[in-house]
Each structure stands twice: as structure tokens, then as C-alpha cells.
């Protein structure tokens, strides 16, 4: 029975790995080919399961692995060539083995006879005549019995021991000491497994040594040790020990007892006939074993330079590491003032800072595991499904080395299984249909993992029939998931998304594999629980792709710290779409909070967004109705809603700690976190809040505008942004084209003159401003020693902008998603890497700080006139439109050349301002078309572009532009407009 419960767990872990390896190898096709390297690995895996199981006395596991080993042995010796049927039998046996390993304590009760029978059938068939020889051996000449105790061999094999032949030439340098060593070791280690007694051996040896110098002795040893260890243990030269393989009799195995027969024993036991041990040998070489022991380079055997550590220890480490980060922050804050006064403190603090961050990162890494851990089980599944459905398919796996947090990997197993089943069952067609559609018989499912932008993506791609949106709509109607009226309005993409609805199943025949109708909505929920998202693409006739997007780790999430009723909460930023500020005196009709049937809604870009007040849901008192309401627009799956909070405190990387059980009843928190100041803060569970709010959603009520917004987002030009922070917590951004340079300065370099601040810059004094003093944003207390000054370009009266920290310099497609942050000096907000970023409007900022130079009204006479602005990038649209409108122009927007032409057809404009790079029709084409047109001949047209340079300018002028201006230079642009209008008027007058 089980002898050592402490070690048994180790056996289970190890054996699980081995069994998995066997499965993996069986699924790979190389075993089907004769003479391949993989077989050695498989053989060794099974062998070591058998060996260890024998050590624990797990008889059934030993028995089954033994039979399997025998089969693999035969394959290795090229006596059997495996075919598909054999592989099925072996897989089934391996499954049985796996289940016994999983439930090791009850493994003795497992019925394995069927597998044994089937396996011995493989052996039986192939053995043929060999079996008869074995018969002879077992009932062989009586002198065999003298030294070969069959019962002892049987016991040895039942314990999973390997048999070795030890040949000693009396003439060699071997001394008696060796025999004694062997006898002692054998006696000590394998009491009861007596094959040849040591005493007898000694006697024989002694008596024969004298007069029979040319004699050879052969012992049969049984040991659990592998051959490479055995000779070390016994201190024998390697070449005197030869492993033996033993065969099993098929018909006897049927009795459930492992009976061994000894066949030619890889070249014969009686390697020499001199001691009268009988049988003539059939050669003494046994090269076959070498492969089993030696080849480790053949496949991706995971190198054993790792150790097993219990997860609880890693979790503790992770906790302590994050605690240490907090400690470091406090330390740095406390000692900041003493950096100067205590010599040498600076470098020490810096070092601790660096080490702590490094350590935290490494600890996080310890929890990372390759996705291969979960991908590995799919080849088997695909094989089974293919058999089951009579389809032909293959699975291509890419990126199994991509790593994710352990907890995430575990949680992914079910959703992935489901998606792959779906792809195989619903996605891929039968071979006949594939051929009819002009495709290859064999369908391909690709499982691909890769990193992108701080996320891990997993694509499940099939080259099957694709999804028929009409069929899906039909089905949705039948199942009453959607009304006929709604169906009309659905786009193709929206129709596909219907499969994520509860109770949806489109397979025409419900199979036992998938299509039970509990599928995709559960998958979606599970993925979203992990903080991820799921997307779906499909082309009819060509296949479908399901894309999972997952954060790297569960333990740390980016959160927005929000306040309601004096409590601070962390809100996971993954679901945050935008932040909308609603002012009391909001003049714009399109954005305000209204009440419809007792429920509050926010009118946002023409659609109604249900909103809830966080304080009300949590039953706390909100701050007195402020002049500004902050609404966080959130999206969970297809449900969009807003949460009203009292205040926003910027975003933090929060370490998620599990919620105490005592608070589970609140139903509105998903965890707890410790913030930078050491205080605890609850992480809001948005799903829970949604449930508590009892908001009613018409699922998936996405409107046409949403789709357009999404399309617009995809078509965005990328922009270079400088991300930075001032003393407060907000993240700001400036378009790099407006930045001349960034200077690092000491805080002491700033000099004050009255209310204003100046620095020395290139021999001149340069006025600097602090954005937080001029914008309605948070102001921090701390006054770091080092500051940065942004020197802007494209302005006439340079003013430096003092910032505290440069965060990053990124190229990104900006989805400028707001007309909402109505702060003076801010163009709008965008989300970058889950952070809310405010994009600065330098002109407005400078107007606040230095109205004498920057106020439009002061500098330029109020203008009038109609401007057509052709510009595809929302950011620039907004920027330029705001300059122009402030200057008094009436602006009409066109997002490309074609639209601009249409607008020109409709009404008359005083001037056209056009971007160069636009979709559909670019600026060059646009101006050519305008010039071709008789009535627009004298229409002033100005190019405003980020593509500057002589060639571009020349090309632009040749095309017919009047002027060619850099984007974002407001004053220049306004002056140029004046000039262009004046010039064209003169030209027209001459005409």
C-alpha cells in the first residue's frame, strides 16, 4: 500500500507531467513513423511512472504502465509500427493512467483489465512467433531455474524494477571486493528480492576464480534505479551492466496478473556458456537502451533548472513585496527633505528605490506561467472532436511561450475549451462540404497568443464556414432574444454579437460537444471577469476569429480613484470609456442630466445614457450638490452607463487584495487595495453596482453613432504626444509638434517677479507658468527639487510650462472622446493605456496666463466669414475649429476631400482650409478639383498640414493652394487667412 504520504504528492506531480508528455507525443504524428527519436522519450516517461509507482506500491499503476512500457519498448525496437488504432488504445490507456495518478489513493480500485487486454493485443499480434519462443523460455530447461527465479523476477517487475544483466569476466580486474559490494548493496536495498544470493555468488566466484580464469559470470539484477545510476551505486564499470527488456504474454495478462516471460532478453541472458548456466546466447550487445537514457535534446524537454515552490509562499512574497513598495514610498517621502543635509543619503535612497521596484517586478514574474500549460490539452481535444464529428482538422498553436499570471491561466482553461470546441464543431465544415467549397479537406484551427500594448491577445481562428449573420438573426428571432423590429436595425457586426446573448445556439444539430446553448455568454462573462474583453470577426465562407484581450496580471490593475460621500474607492479602469463633466450652467442642450420616468439619464452626443449616483447606491451622503458633476462613462459588455461621483483623484496602479468574507454581503466590492498613502480603499465591483442600481438595459442597444465613432477611431491618424504630470495627479498631454524642447531645471532656478515666475533660458529671461495655477485641476503640495520646462513652439510670445514629471512620449491614435471636459485650456480628454489623459490647449492656457499677448479679441480684429475646414483627425478638427471660431469665423467641417466638395456644392464659403492627408480624397486632389471648377477659381484655399518641408510646400503650391501652413500655429493661420482672402479679392477685382 502507500508507504509514504509525504512523497506521494511529489510522485503525483511528476507523474502528471510524464503522462502529459506521453499524451503530447502520442498526438504528435512522429510516433507513427518508424525509427524516431520521440519514442525514447515516451518510453522513459512511462518507465519512470512505473518506477516511482512501484516504490509506493501502487500496483495498478505499475501494472498498466508496465504494459504500456512494453508496447513502447516494442515500438522502440522496431518490432511494432504504431498505427492510428494503436494510438487510440494507447491514449485510452494513458487516460486511465492519468485518472489513477490524479486519484492516487483510490487507484488500486481502478479497473484496468480492458486496457491491458487491448494493449496486449497490440503486443500479441505483432509478437507472433516470438511468443512461442517466450513460452519455451519460461518453461525452459531446468538449469535455468537454478539461477533464474521466475517468481523473484515477477515480484521485481511488479514493483516496477528494471532488470539488468551483470556480466563479469573473471579475468578482468574485478576483484572480490566488487562482488561483496554488490551483495551488500543488494542485501541492504532490496531485501527479499533475491535473484542470486550473494553468498552463492561469492562461493562460486571464489571456487571458480582459481581454476577457470576464462569463465564469465552472469547475474540478473533487479533494481529500481536507472542504468546510469545503478552502476554508480554498485561501483561497477558501465559496460558490465546491461539493461534487459522483458516481454509480457498476451494471453496470460488477461488474468490481470502481470506475468513475465523472458525472451531473448536483448541478446540473451546467457551471454557466456562457460558457467554452465545453460542456454546459448544470441549475441551480447544491447544497444537499444542507449537511446532511452541519453537523448534529451530531441524535444522541448523543460530544463530542470527550476524548483517547485508552493503558491502560498509566492502569494506571501507578493504581498510583502507590495508592502515594501509602500514602505519605500513612505521612506522616500519622509527623507526627501534630508537628502541635502545627510551626506550620501541620496544614492542610498535611489538604490533602495530601484531594488524595491526590481524585486516587486521579479516577484510578479514568479507567478507567470506560459500559456502552453493550458494550450497543451487542446491537441488531444481536437483529435477527439475530429473523430467524433468525422471531420478532418488540425490545430496550429502559436505563442505558447507567452506568459500570464497563474490565476489567469487557470481561469482561461474553460473559456478556451469552449471556444475551440465551437470552432471545431460549428466553425469547420465536413470534408465533403469543404471540398465542395473549393477548400482543402482538412480544416485548420489556429490558436495564437501574442503581446500587444500591455495586453495579451489570444486569437482562435478557424478557416471554416464563417458565421452567417442572416442565420444568426433568424435564430435570435426564433429564440425571441430580439424583436423583429430590432433585427431590422442590426448591422452585420451587431448580428454576430447576438451569439453572446444568453440562450443562443446555432448549430443545426445539437451535438454532445457544443451547442447546448449555455455557451458564448458564459465565455464572455468569464473573460470580462478577468478584466478582459472578447471580440468576434467573421467572413462568410472564409472563417471566423474570436479574439480575447487579457490584462497581464490580475494582481495589479489600473484604477481610477474616485470619491463619493467622503469615501475613496478604486474603480477598475478597464471598463472606463470616458469622464464627462457636467456643469450646472451647462448651456449646451446636448449634455445634461435629465430625469425620465424617475430614472436619471445623461444626454450624451444625442443618446441617453442611464446614470446612477455612487453615493446613493452605497447609501452614503454625497457631497453637497456641486456645481460640476463628474460622470464616469463605463461599459460592461454591451451595457453602457454612467456613475456620478463627487470627485476624481487620478489613477493609481492598485494591488488587488481579496475581499474579506465579512464584506461579501455588500455585493458592490470586488476587492480591497492599499493606496499610496497606506490607507485601504475598496475596489468597486461594477457588475454588482449595476445590479444594485436595478438599471434596465436593452442589451446591445448600440446605435449607429457608436458604430461611426468606432469607425472613426480606427481611421485616426496617429499623433505624437508628450505625456506629463504637473503637481497634481492628472496626466496631461501636448502634441509634440508644439514642443520646441524640454529643459530640466532646478527648482531654485525659478525666480519670482511679483506674481510671475521666470527662468534664465539661453541668456534671456523666459516667463514660465504652472498649468495647475491656471487650469481647474488638482494642485499637489510637494515641491520636487528637479522640474522640467516645456518650451513650446509655434507661438509668438514663448512662455515655458513648468511640469513635475515627464511620463512618456508616445505615438498613438488619439480618440479625442470629449466635448466634455469643459475646462479652459484643455482640448479634451482621451484614454491612453487605461489612463485618463487631458490634452492641453496651449493657446487657451496662455490666454489665461498672459491675456495681454494671447487674447484673440485683443490682438485680432473680430473677423467674420464662412470657413470650410477639411480635416479628418478629430484632435485637429477640434483645435483648428476652436481657433477659427474664437476669431469669429463660422466653421463647417468636412472629414475628407469628397465631403468638402459636397459642402462646396451646397453653399458658398469665403475660404477653404484643408488637411493634406485624408481618406477618400486628399488635399492635393481636393484643391485640383476646386481649381478645375469655374466658380471656385478665386476661392482662397489654404493647406494646413503636419507635412512640412520644401518639397511638400512646392508640391502643394503647384497643386493650387494659396498658402501652405503648419498645423497648430494659430496666429500664423489667422494671419494667413486674412492674407489669402485679401489676395484673392485683389485677383478677382483685376479679373
Partner 1 sequence: MIKVLSFRVAGKLFGIEITEVKEINRNVEYATVPRAAKYIVGLFNMRGQIVTLFNLATILGLADSGERSGRVTCIILKQGAGSANQCGFVIDEPGDVLDLDYALVEDPPSQLLSDQSDHIAKVARLPDELLLIIQPQTVFDHHSY
Residues of this chain that bind partner 1 (CB under 8 A): 312, 315-316, 319-320, 322-323, 326, 565, 567-568, 618-620, 657-663, 665-669, 672, 674, 678-682
Comparing CB distances to partner 1, the nearer of 301 and 309 is 309
Helix (H, G, I), strand (E, B) or coil at 560: strand
At residue 5, what are phi and psi to the nearest 5 degrees? -65, -25
Question: Shortest approach of partner 1 to residue 20 CB, angstroms?
Answer: 30
Question: Shortest approach of partner 1 to residue 851 CB, angstroms?
Answer: 44
C-alpha cell at 481: 432574444
Comparing CB distances to partner 1, the nearer of 112 and 644 is 644
Comparing CB distances to partner 1, the nearer of 342 and 666 is 666
Question: Shortest approach of partner 1 to residue 373 CB, angstroms?
Answer: 24
Which residue is it, cell 507578493? 318
The DSSP call for residue 573 is: G
Give the Cα-Cα-Cα angle 505, 507, 508 (nearest 5 degrees). 120
Comparing CB distances to partner 1, the nearer of 596 and 663 is 663
Count CA atoms closer than 13 A to 249's CA, side-chain side: 18
Comparing CB distances to partner 1, the nearer of 559 and 681 is 681
Question: Shortest approach of partner 1 to residue 675 CB, angstroms?
Answer: 9
Comparing CB distances to partner 1, the nearer of 392 and 647 is 647
Question: Shortest approach of partner 1 to residue 357 CB, angstroms?
Answer: 17
Question: Shortest approach of partner 1 to residue 561 CB, angstroms?
Answer: 13
Interatomic CA distance for residues 985 and 991, integer angstroms? 10
Question: Shortest approach of partner 1 to residue 674 CB, angstroms?
Answer: 5
Interatomic CA distance for residues 803 and 742, integer angstroms? 10
Single out the residue of 61, 58, 57, 55 nearest to residue 19, CA to CA.
Answer: 61
Question: Shortest approach of partner 1 to residue 507 CB, angstroms?
Answer: 42
Interatomic CA distance for residues 543 and 538, integer angstroms? 6
Interatomic CA distance for residues 240 and 951, integer angstroms? 84
C-alpha cell at 786: 528637479
Dump strand ranges (E) for 620-763: 628-636, 639-645, 647-655, 669-674, 680-684, 718-725, 731-735, 739-746, 751-753, 756-761
Question: Shortest approach of partner 1 to residue 835 CB, angstroms?
Answer: 24
Q: In what order do the strands lie in the sheet with 162-169?
A: 216-223, 162-169, 241-244
Handedness of CA 824, 830, 836, 841 (dihedral sign): negative
Comparing CB distances to partner 1, the nearer of 325 and 548 is 325
Instruction: Give the pairing type, strands 639-645 and 607-613.
Output: parallel
Question: Shortest approach of partner 1 to residue 446 CB, angstroms?
Answer: 39
Q: Residues with Cβ < 8 Å from 598, sequence gap 6 or more?
A: none
End-to-end CA distance of the chain: 110
Please state the length of the chain: 991
Question: Shortest approach of partner 1 to residue 680 CB, angstroms?
Answer: 5
Question: Shortest approach of partner 1 to residue 353 CB, angstroms?
Answer: 18
Give the Cα-Cα-Cα angle 575, 579, 584 (nearest 5 degrees). 145
Q: What is the DSSP string of 577-606?
A: EEEEEEETT---TTS-EEEETTEEEEEETT
Interatomic CA distance for residues 93 and 488, integer angstroms? 54
Comparing CB distances to partner 1, the nearer of 233 and 695 is 695
Comparing CB distances to partner 1, the nearer of 27 and 564 is 564
The DSSP call for residue 494 is: H
Comparing CB distances to partner 1, the nearer of 663 and 987 is 663
Comparing CB distances to partner 1, the nearer of 68 and 686 is 686
At residue 893, what are phi and psi to the nearest 5 degrees? -100, 140
Single out the residue of 523, 530, 529 nearest to residue 554, CA to CA.
Answer: 530
Comparing CB distances to partner 1, the nearer of 216 and 673 is 673
Interatomic CA distance for residues 102 and 94, integer angstroms? 12
At residue 74, what are phi and psi to the nearest 5 degrees? -65, -40
Question: Shortest approach of partner 1 to residue 664 CB, angstroms?
Answer: 9
Question: Shortest approach of partner 1 to residue 148 CB, angstroms?
Answer: 57
Helix (H, G, I), strand (E, B) or coil at 243: strand
For residue 644, what are the β-bridge partners? 613, 631
Question: Shortest approach of partner 1 to residue 572 CB, angstroms?
Answer: 18
Question: Shortest approach of partner 1 to residue 312 CB, angstroms?
Answer: 6
Interatomic CA distance for residues 328 and 9, integer angstroms? 39
Single out the residue of 673, 820, 759, 705 nearest to residue 323, CA to CA.
Answer: 673
Output the furthest CA–CA distance in the chain (Å, rounded).
135
The DSSP call for residue 862 is: P
Q: What is the DSSP string of 108-168?
A: GG---HHHHHHHHHHHHHHHTHHHHHHHHHHT--HHHHHH--HHHHHHHHHTTPEEEEEEE
Question: Shortest approach of partner 1 to residue 622 CB, angstroms?
Answer: 11
C-alpha cell at 426: 460549428
Comparing CB distances to partner 1, the nearer of 300 and 312 is 312
Question: Shortest approach of partner 1 to residue 571 CB, angstroms?
Answer: 14
Count CA atoms closer than 13 A to 279's CA, side-chain side: 28
Interatomic CA distance for residues 56 and 256, integer angstroms? 20
At residue 416, what are phi and psi to the nearest 5 degrees? -65, -45
Comparing CB distances to partner 1, the nearer of 308 and 679 is 679
Amino acid at each position: 500500500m502507500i508507504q509514504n504520504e509525504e512523497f506521494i504528492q511529489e510522485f503525483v506531480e511528476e507523474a502528471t507531467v510524464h503522462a502529459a508528455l506521453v499524451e503530447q507525443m502520442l498526438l504528435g504524428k512522429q510516433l507513427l513513423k518508424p525509427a524516431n527519436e520521440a519514442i525514447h522519450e515516451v518510453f522513459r516517461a512511462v518507465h519512470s511512472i512505473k518506477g516511482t509507482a512501484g516504490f509506493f506500491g501502487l500496483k495498478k499503476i505499475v501494472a498498466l504502465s508496465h504494459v504500456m512500457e512494453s508496447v513502447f519498448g516494442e515500438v522502440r525496437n522496431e518490432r511494432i509500427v504504431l498505427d492510428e488504432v494503436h494510438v487510440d488504445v494507447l491514449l485510452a490507456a494513458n487516460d486511465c493512467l492519468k485518472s489513477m495518478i490524479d486519484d492516487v489513493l483510490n487507484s488500486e480500485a481502478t479497473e484496468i483489465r480492458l486496457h491491458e487486454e487491448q494493449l496486449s493485443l497490440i503486443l500479441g499480434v505483432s509478437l507472433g512467433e516470438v511468443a512461442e519462443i517466450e513460452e519455451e523460455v519460461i518453461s525452459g530447461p531446468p538449469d535455468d531455474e537454478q539461477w533464474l527465479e521466475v517468481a523473484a523476477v515477477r515480484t521485481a517487475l511488479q514493483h516496477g524494477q528494471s532488470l539488468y544483466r551483470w556480466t563479469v569476466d573473471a579475468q578482468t580486474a574485478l576483484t572480490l571486493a566488487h562482488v561483496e559490494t554488490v551483495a551488500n548493496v543488494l542485501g541492504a536495498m532490496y531485501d527479499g528480492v533475491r535473484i542470486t544470493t550473494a553468498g552463492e555468488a561469492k562461493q562460486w566466484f571464489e571456487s571458480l576464480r582459481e581454476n577457470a580464469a576464462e569463465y564469465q559470470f552472469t547475474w540478473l539484477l533487479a533494481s529500481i534505479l536507472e542504468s546510469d545510476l545503478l552502476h554508480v551505486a554498485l561501483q561497477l564499470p558501465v559496460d558490465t551492466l546491461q539493461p534487459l527488456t522483458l516481454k509480457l504474454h498476451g494471453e496470460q495478462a488477461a488474468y490481470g496478473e502481470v506475468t513475465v516471460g523472458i525472451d531473448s532478453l536483448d541478446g540473451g541472458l546467457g551471454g557466456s556458456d562457460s558457467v554452465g548456466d545453460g542456454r546459448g546466447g544470441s549475441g551480447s550487445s544491447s544497444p537499444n537502451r542507449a537511446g532511452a537514457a541519453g537523448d534529451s535534446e530531441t524535444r522541448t524537454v523543460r530544463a530542470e533548472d527550476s524548483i517547485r515552490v508552493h503558491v502560498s509562499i509566492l502569494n506571501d512574497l507578493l504581498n510583502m513585496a507590495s508592502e515594501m513598495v509602500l514602505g519605500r514610498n513612505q521612506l522616500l517621502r519622509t527623507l526627501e527633505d534630508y537628502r541635502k543635509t545627510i551626506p550620501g543619503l541620496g544614492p542610498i535612497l535611489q538604490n533602495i528605490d530601484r531594488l524595491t521596484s526590481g524585486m516587486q517586478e521579479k516577484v510578479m514574474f514568479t507567478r507567470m506561467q506560459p500559456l502552453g500549460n493550458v494550450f497543451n490539452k487542446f491537441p488531444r481535444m481536437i483529435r477527439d472532436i475530429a473523430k467524433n464529428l468525422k471531420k478532418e482538422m488540425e490545430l496550429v498553436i502559436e505563442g505558447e511561450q507567452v506568459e500570464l499570471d497563474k490565476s489567469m491561466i487557470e481561469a482561461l482553461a474553460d473559456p478556451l475549451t469552449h471556444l475551440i470546441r465551437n470552432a471545431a464543431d460549428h466553425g469547420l465544415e465536413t470534408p465533403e462540404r469543404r471540398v465542395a467549397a473549393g477548400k482543402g479537406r482538412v480544416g485548420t484551427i489556429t490558436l495564437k497568443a501574442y503581446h500587444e500594448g500591455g495586453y495579451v491577445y489570444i486569437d482562435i481562428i478557424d478557416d471554416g464556414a464563417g458565421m452567417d449573420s442572416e442565420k444568426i438573426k433568424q435564430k435570435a428571432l426564433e429564440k425571441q432574444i430580439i424583436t423583429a423590429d430590432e433585427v431590422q436595425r442590426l448591422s452585420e457586426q451587431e448580428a454576430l454579437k447576438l451569439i453572446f446573448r444568453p440562450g443562443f445556439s446555432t448549430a443545426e444539430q445539437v451535438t454532445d460537444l457544443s451547442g447546448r446553448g449555455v455557451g458564448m455568454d458564459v465565455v464572455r462573462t468569464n473573460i470580462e471577469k478577468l478584466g478582459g474583453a472578447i471580440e468576434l470577426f467573421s467572413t462568410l465562407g472564409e472563417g471566423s476569429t474570436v479574439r480575447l484581450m487579457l490584462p497581464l496580471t490580475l494582481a495589479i490593475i489600473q484604477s481610477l480613484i474616485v470619491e463619493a460621500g467622503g469615501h475613496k474607492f478604486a474603480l477598475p479602469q478597464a471598463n472606463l470609456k470616458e469622464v464627462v463633466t457636467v456643469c450646472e450652467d451647462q448651456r449646451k442642450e446636448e449634455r445634461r442630466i435629465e430625469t425620465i420616468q424617475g430614472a436619471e439619464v445623461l444626454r450624451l452626443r444625442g443618446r441617453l445614457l442611464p446614470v446612477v449616483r455612487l453615493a446613493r447606491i452605497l447609501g452614503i451622503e454625497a457631497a453637497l450638490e456641486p456645481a460640476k458633476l463628474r460622470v464616469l462613462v463605463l461599459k460592461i459588455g454591451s451595457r453602457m452607463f454612467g456613475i456620478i461621483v463627487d470627485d476624481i483623484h487620478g489613477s493609481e496602479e492598485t494591488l488587488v487584495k481579496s475581499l474579506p468574507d465579512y464584506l461579501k454581503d455588500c455585493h458592490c466590492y470586488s476587492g480591497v487595495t492599499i493606496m499610496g498613502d497606506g490607507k485601504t480603499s475598496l475596489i468597486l465591483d461594477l457588475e454588482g453596482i449595476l445590479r444594485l442600481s436595478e438599471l434596465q438595459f436593452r442589451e446591445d442597444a448600440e446605435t449607429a453613432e457608436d458604430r461611426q465613432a468606432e469607425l472613426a477611431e480606427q481611421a485616426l491618424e496617429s499623433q505624437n504626444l508628450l505625456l506629463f504630470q504637473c503637481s497634481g495627479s492628472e496626466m496631461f498631454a501636448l502634441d509634440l509638434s508644439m514642443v520646441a524642447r524640454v529643459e530640466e531645471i532646478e527648482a531654485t532656478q525659478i525666480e519670482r517677479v511679483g506674481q510671475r515666475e521666470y527662468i534664465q533660458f539661453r541668456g534671456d529671461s523666459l516667463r514660465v507658468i504652472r498649468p495647475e495655477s491656471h487650469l481647474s485641476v488638482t494642485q499637489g503640495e510637494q515641491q520636487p527639487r528637479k522640474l522640467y520646462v516645456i518650451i513650446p513652439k509655434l507661438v509668438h510670445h514663448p512662455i515655458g510650462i513648468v511640469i513635475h514629471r515627464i511620463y512618456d512620449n508616445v505615438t498613438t491614435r488619439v480618440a479625442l472622446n470629449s466635448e466634455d471636459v469643459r475646462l479652459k485650456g484643455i482640448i479634451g480628454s482621451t484614454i491612453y493605456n487605461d489612463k485618463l489623459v487631458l490634452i492641453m490647449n496651449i493657446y487657451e492656457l496662455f490666454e489665461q496666463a498672459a491675456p495681454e499677448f494671447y487674447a484673440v479679441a485683443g490682438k485680432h480684429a473680430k473677423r467674420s466669414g464662412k470657413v470650410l475646414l477639411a480635416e479628418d483627425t478629430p484632435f485637429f478638427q477640434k483645435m483648428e475649429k476652436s481657433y477659427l471660431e474664437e476669431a469669429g469665423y463660422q466653421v463647417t467641417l468636412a472629414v475628407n476631400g469628397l465631403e468638402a466638395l459636397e459642402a462646396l456644392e451646397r453653399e458658398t464659403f469665403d475660404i477653404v482650409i484643408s488637411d493634406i492627408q485624408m481618406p477618400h480624397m486628399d488635399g492635393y486632389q481636393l484643391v485640383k478639383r476646386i481649381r478645375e471648377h469655374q466658380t471656385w477659381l478665386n476661392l482662397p484655399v489654404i493647406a494646413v498640414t503636419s507635412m512640412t518641408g520644401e518639397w511638400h510646400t512646392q508640391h502643394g503650391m503647384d497643386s493650387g493652394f494659396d498658402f501652405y501652413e503648419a498645423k497648430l500655429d494659430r496666429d500664423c493661420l489667422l494671419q494667413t487667412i486674412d492674407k489669402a482672402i485679401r489676395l484673392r479679392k485683389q485677383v478677382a477685382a483685376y479679373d
